[in-house]
Amino acid sequence: MEIKIPYKPRPIQADMHKELKRWNVLVMHRRFGKTVWAVNHMIKRVLTNPLPRPRVALIAPTFTQAKRIAWDYVKYYAGVIPGTTFNETELRADFANGGRITLLSAENPDALRGIYLDDCFFDEYGMQNPRVWGEVVRPALSDRQGSATFLGTPAGHNHFYDMMQNAKRELGEGSGDWYYRVCKASETEIVKTEELAAARASMTEEQYQQEFECSFTAAIIGAYYAKLLADADDAGKITRVPYDPSLPVHTAWDLGMNDSTAIWFAQIFRGGAVNVIDYYESSGVGLDHYAEVLRQKEYHYGDHLAPHDIEVRELGSGKSRLETAYNLGIRFRVIPKMKIADGINAARMMLPKCYFDDDKCAVGLECLKQYRQDWDDKRQIFRNHPRHDFTSHAADAFRYLAVGLQNREAGVRAPQAVAENSYNPFTQ
């Protein structure tokens, strides 16, 4: 039986359907139609895969984006296929051949563990937690030798840029598994010339180059720390930064309840220089896991800095995380509640004093580079608060580090990470 899907790709889109390899990086300008293109390629893959029960997923930065941007397209294009059913709660389309398309969120990488996939499409990969690919999705593709496609619009030299550079290297070395393509608005003819001219007139040149001409060199719009980190990189401050055993290591935490916990590790030197020597992030585990991480790193600890909400008692146990941490040997110094804007300003003031270990802090640095103001699509203005996404935990922890280290002298030691006596302020 012939099935006609109401989809007519433009020539460049049709070429891309034919040219995909196992690993694909597609850089697309705004209004290219990447979500419609991806949804229809997903449908093609789930219907033509010879393996039993094929599984195809689209991963968006957030669940809300997955539902708002892609779900209606899935229902519209797949709805004409006989035997297709839809699960609104799980954003899932099930096909008569046993295949399935699911829309997923990158908000919590560990929630995706345990799945298998034949094909995966990352929508706006540069806005997603890079842990999702390496730690979760890549292993999920191994059993059935599945494929992955990374889609998005540039936003500085982030992990999407790194993925594109890797694709270019692989192709240059003769790999037949990789494919990449950059689709500029001036070349695709998808957006009319007069509309491009109008957009250019109403945007800064950097904005236009990033959004329509796929420039990775344009500044990240609305970023809080990207310029300062670029300056640090130019000055050679993002490099190999060793641990100095003669000085304490201060840690700053953003403790997630149902999502990620982020920890920065830093040392203060005379003169005010701050060596940020390490970063750790995980999710779905308790405080005992992080206590063990501290022990395994074998640093000599100074202050452990945490936000004020660590003192809130949890409904289940009746204990605060402050008390739980104390019983695990971690004595936190609580950072007073303050406005986010004041914390961001403190972080900006500290950044010129910082040296970062480029290897151990790579994930945290990526988050700081991408941390930005939230954008109001309806009003076309920036909101006066940060965007909440995968960058938030690292950025929040860094704010606590900046506030907590203000006016602290080099070499001053706070209480040890592991209690040395039986006194417990929570019980005595």
Mean pLDDT of the chain: 89
pLDDT at residue 339 is higher than 60: yes
- Average pLDDT on 381-391 reads 83
Ranges 17-26, 203-212, 214-223, 417-426: which has the least confidence? 417-426
Residue 423 lies inside a defined structural domain of this protein = no
- Average pLDDT on 163-172 reads 92
* Pair 181, 257 in one domain: no
Q: What is the pLDDT of residue 226?
A: 87
Q: What is the pLDDT of residue 414?
A: 47
CB 73 within 8 A of CB 39: yes
pLDDT band at 36 (very low <50, low <70, confident <90, very high): very high
CATH number at residue 25: 3.40.50.300
CB 159 within 8 A of CB 130: yes
Q: What is the pLDDT of residue 396?
A: 95
Residue 425 lies inside a defined structural domain of this protein = no
Number of domains in the chain: 2
Q: What is the pLDDT of residue 412?
A: 47
Which residues make Cβ contacts (< 8 Å) with residue 222, sequence separation at least 6?
372, 373, 375, 382, 387
Tokens of 370: 């991408």
Nearest-angstrom CA–CA distance, 158 and 155: 7
* Pair 243, 327 in one domain: yes
Residue 128 lies inside a defined structural domain of this protein = yes
Nearest-angstrom CA–CA distance, 25 and 181: 7
pLDDT at residue 172 is higher than 90: no
Reported as type and span, the H/E element at residue 234 is helix 226-234
Q: What is the pLDDT of residue 283?
A: 84
Q: What is the pLDDT of residue 216?
A: 84
Higher pLDDT, 157 or 171: 171
* Pair 204, 272 in one domain: no
* Pair 251, 335 in one domain: yes
Residue 234 lies inside a defined structural domain of this protein = yes
Nearest-angstrom CA–CA distance, 87 and 420: 55
Instruction: Centre a 10 Å sphere on the Cβ of residue 191 and count the other Cβ atoms it contains.
Output: 16
Residue 3 lies inside a defined structural domain of this protein = no
pLDDT band at 398 (very low <50, low <70, confident <90, very high): very high
* Pair 365, 260 in one domain: yes
Nearest-angstrom CA–CA distance, 25 and 209: 19
Nearest-angstrom CA–CA distance, 409 and 23: 50
* Pair 327, 366 in one domain: yes
pLDDT at residue 415 is higher than 80: no
pLDDT at residue 379 is higher than 90: no
pLDDT at residue 1 is higher than 80: no
pLDDT digits (tens, 9 = 90+) for 271-316: 889 999 999 998 888 899 999 999 999 899 999 999 988 888 665 5
The one-character DSSP state at 137 is: I
CB 27 within 8 A of CB 214: yes
pLDDT digits (tens, 9 = 90+) for 94-145: 999 999 999 999 887 777 888 899 999 999 998 888 889 988 999 999 999 9
Q: What is the pLDDT of residue 424?
A: 57
* Pair 288, 206 in one domain: no
Residue 129 lies inside a defined structural domain of this protein = yes
Nearest-angstrom CA–CA distance, 132 and 414: 36
* Pair 174, 273 in one domain: no
CB 397 within 8 A of CB 253: yes
Beta-strand (E) ranges in 63-162? 85-87, 92-94, 100-105, 119-123, 147-152
CA distances for 259 relative to 52, 57, 152, 249, 283, angstroms: 34, 21, 25, 25, 5
Ranges 99-113, 126-140, 237-251, 405-419: which has the least confidence? 405-419
CB 141 within 8 A of CB 177: no
pLDDT at residue 422 is higher than 80: no
Which residues make Cβ contacts (< 8 Å) with residue 264, sequence separation at least 6?
251, 252, 276, 278, 279, 361, 364, 394, 397, 398, 401
- Which DSSP string do the residues of 333-375 spell out, in sequence order? EEEPP--HHHHHHHHHHHGGGEEEETTTTHHHHHHHHH-BEEE
* Pair 250, 187 in one domain: no
- Average pLDDT on 155-175 reads 89
pLDDT at residue 377 is higher than 90: no
**Rg over CA atoms, the chain:** 24
Coil, helix or strand at residue 59: strand
pLDDT at residue 419 is higher than 50: no
Last residue of a domain, one of 188, 212, 236: 212
CA distances for 313 relative to 197, 216, 277, 310, angstroms: 56, 45, 32, 8
Are β-strands 261-268 and 178-183 bridged in parallel, bridged antiparallel, or unpaired? Answer: unpaired
Domain region containing 299: 226-405
pLDDT at residue 76 is higher than 70: yes
Nearest-angstrom CA–CA distance, 58 and 101: 8
Which residues make Cβ contacts (< 8 Å) with residue 46, sequence separation at least 6?
54, 56, 95, 97, 99, 100, 101, 119
